[in-house]
Amino acid sequence: MARVAVKVHPRAKRTGVTGRLGDAYKLDLAAPPIEGKANEECRHFFAEVAGVPLARVRIVTGQTGRLKVVEVEGLDQGELDARLRSRIA
């Protein structure tokens, strides 16, 4: 199981990792922060990156804020970090 800290930027042009901010990844989300749409977009992004079903991705902290901790089951920490680093725009 892997956990990663992200700082999200909702209402971006496209969803993707744009860099690092300390220990957290900066994540642009194409969805607005209304009715949980940005959180769902965040979960979908991590499921795609990790190659796991959506049910294995959850937001542990930060449901209503920009700073979130996302947990992914079925992938170790090193592999998730490598996949995220490779996607930095």
Do 16 and 39 touch, CB atoms closer than 8 A?
no
Helix (H) or strand (E) holding 79: helix 77-86
**Tokens of residue 18, six digits:** 């744009």
The total number of structural domains in the chain stands at 1
Give the CATH number of the domain where residue 82 resides.
Answer: 3.30.1200.10
> In which domain, by residue range, is 81 found?
2-86
pLDDT for res 65: 95
pLDDT for res 53: 97
pLDDT for res 32: 96
Report d(CA 7, CA 26) in Å as an integer: 5
Q: pLDDT tens, position by position, for the chain (89 residues)?
A: 999 999 999 999 999 999 999 999 999 999 999 999 999 999 999 999 999 999 999 999 999 999 999 999 999 999 999 999 999 97
pLDDT for res 25: 97
Q: Which amino acid type is present at position 7? A: K
